[in-house]
A and B are shown apart, each in its own frame.
Chain A
Amino acid sequence: MGRYIKYEIRGSYKFILGVLALVLILTTGIYAYISNAREGSALGATFTGLSVLVIFGTLLTTFLYIVNSFRKELYEDRGYLTFTLPLTGNQILGAKLIVAFMWFVLLGVVIAIYNGIMVLSFSPVKIKISELFSMLKNMNIPYRELVVFGLTAIIGGVSTLILIYFSMALSRVTFRNKKIGGFWFVIFLVLSGIVTYGQVKVIQLLPYYLDLNTFKIASSHMLSYGFNITINNGGLIMNGDLGGTILNIAGFIYSIVIGVLMFLGTGYLIENKIDL
């Protein structure tokens, strides 16, 4: 699988570096404009909005590129090379997921660090880095919650990608015709609906939550019903009335199990069912 990862990276790094270069140039331009704009001017607000759009656009473009590269394996001649390699379906799929994940982490980290540098460089008040660190120390950042928040976001992202791959593979198995290849999106929407419905049902049936501050398990009966959902992830993470963030245990396990099942299902389809 390591060998396949190597060639997945070699096949996509130029695109990713191009996207990264573009986003860094745009970000620099935006920050330069903001720093020149007068305080509270409409121009400053516009460019802050643009900055968010650039980041969103970058991640969306990368996501579409990654999704399209899997579609190419199923519908274009390169599949003749990929699917005759002495690799299992799971190895091919696993390599593709690892590389996709790696690119997102790289893009996320580089963009975040670069934005930090830009804020420091263009800020009218000069902040020393040592002061910044001591400020962060005193801020009481809920690291534990951030880790779980990050973990659920990663699981959610990876699961969505697996669901897309599964939908594409299922569409390819069902319809050999390239012209109706876009049918995968309908399959994806239906499956997403079913998976989310299942998650909501699981959460309703097993309303036990892990309080991330105390690491104690609480049932919904012990909490008031006035939940404020912070992530709309089928009610997986909520702000309980006790103040801390709580995580539905069954819902969390459910999303992992669904992700694993979809992964194995896709691996099985591309190894045993797809006709090129």
Chain B
Amino acid sequence: MKNIVEINSLTKNYFNKRALDNISLNIEEGKVVGILGPNGSGKTTLIKILTGLLRQTKGEVLIDGHQIGVYTKSIVSYLPDRNFLYNWMTIKDAFEFYKDFYTDFDEKKFEDLLDFMKLEKSMKITSLSKGMHEKLNLTLVLSRNAKLYILDEPIAGVDPVARDQILDAIINNYNENSSMLITTHLVRDMENIFEDVVFLKDGEIVLTGNAETLREEKGKQIDDIYKEIFGE
């Protein structure tokens, strides 16, 4: 199977701190991959490099065979871990914005997801709660028929009801022609979604593999493996 993401010897330094240390990783097309690690392990740094918001210090990163640039940005649907929409917007403005910039944006999917999330188009971005923000951002990101979805901490800091809605939306809207990269430290809630997992610790990959195989090999859930690795 073709690799949608190819990372070779990737290093990222912030002045005297090493955020990613010579990591190599391939992600196959059609896979849902969990990047797992505590805060400060390098998850967001890795994702920011993939989305073109950060530059690597060393190494090579390819998405769909291309270096990070305008093309990769057009095929990657990215959910940052913050409220990234412009403050002057209403949900309708955000919808039109996505429709204008991304040719893979699916209006029908957006309407359905908005309904599912119980959001109204007339709502102003600045009037939304944290949970509503997260749901809107995910609605926009999943409404694209992108080749690669990158979701950074999609359920962090939201209430359990919103969390379930978000997880359902991810499961229901994932299609086999796309790949999904999800970072999280809330492993128990998300581990059933992942086909492959990558454990990141202090900027290094300490364990990677198929989630089911790892469960069988270790005789534990991914959440317990996580605790074993990071609980030391």
Interface set of A (CB-CB < 8 Å, partner B): 3, 6-7, 10-11, 14, 77-81, 83-88, 176, 272-273, 275-276
Contacts and interface: CB of A to CB of B under 8 A. Distances in A.
A273 B88 CA distance: 28
B74 A80 contact: no
Given A77-B83, A80-B80, A275 B93 contact: no
A87 B71 CA distance: 9
Q: What 8 pairs between A and B have smallest CB-CB spacing?
A: A86-B74, A80-B84, A86-B73, A276-B53, A81-B84, A80-B80, A3-B100, A77-B82
Interface string B62-103: 000000001101101010101111111000010001001110
A7 B94 CA distance: 10
Contacts of B74: 86
B15 to A, nearest CB: 8
Nearest to B78: A84
A276 B48 contact: yes
A53 B88 CA distance: 30
Given A77-B82, A77-B84, A88-B70, A83 B53 contact: yes
B54 interface: yes
A11 B88 CA distance: 6
A interface secondary structure, majority: loop
Nearest to A13: B88
Nearest to B76: A84
B53 A84 contact: yes
A33 to B, nearest CB: 36
Nearest to A15: B88
B93 to A, nearest CB: 7
Contacts of A78: 84-87
B52 interface: yes
B53 A80 contact: yes
B145 interface: no
Nearest to B99: A3
Given A10-B93, A81-B85, A86 B101 contact: yes
A35 B187 CA distance: 75
A84 B52 contact: yes
Interface string B34-74: 00000000000000100111110000000000000011011
Given A10-B88, A14-B88, A86 B71 contact: yes
A10 B96 CA distance: 12
Given A7-B86, A83-B53, A84-B73, 11 more contacts: A11-B86, A77-B80, A78-B84, A78-B86, A80-B80, A84-B51, A86-B70, A86-B102, A87-B101, A276-B48, A276-B54
A111 B83 CA distance: 38
Contacts of B73: 84-87
A181 B225 CA distance: 42
5 contacts: A77-B80, A78-B86, A80-B53, A81-B86, A276-B53
Contacts of B55: 272-273, 275
Contacts of B14: 176
Contacts of A14: 88
Interface centre among B52, B82, B93 (most CB of A within 10 A): B52
A239 to B, nearest CB: 47
Contacts of A81: 84-86
Contacts of A79: 53
Nearest to A86: B74
A6 B96 CA distance: 11
Q: In the complex, which of the residues B76, B78, B84 has the most CB atoms of chain A within 10 Å of its own CB atom?
A: B84
A275 B54 contact: yes
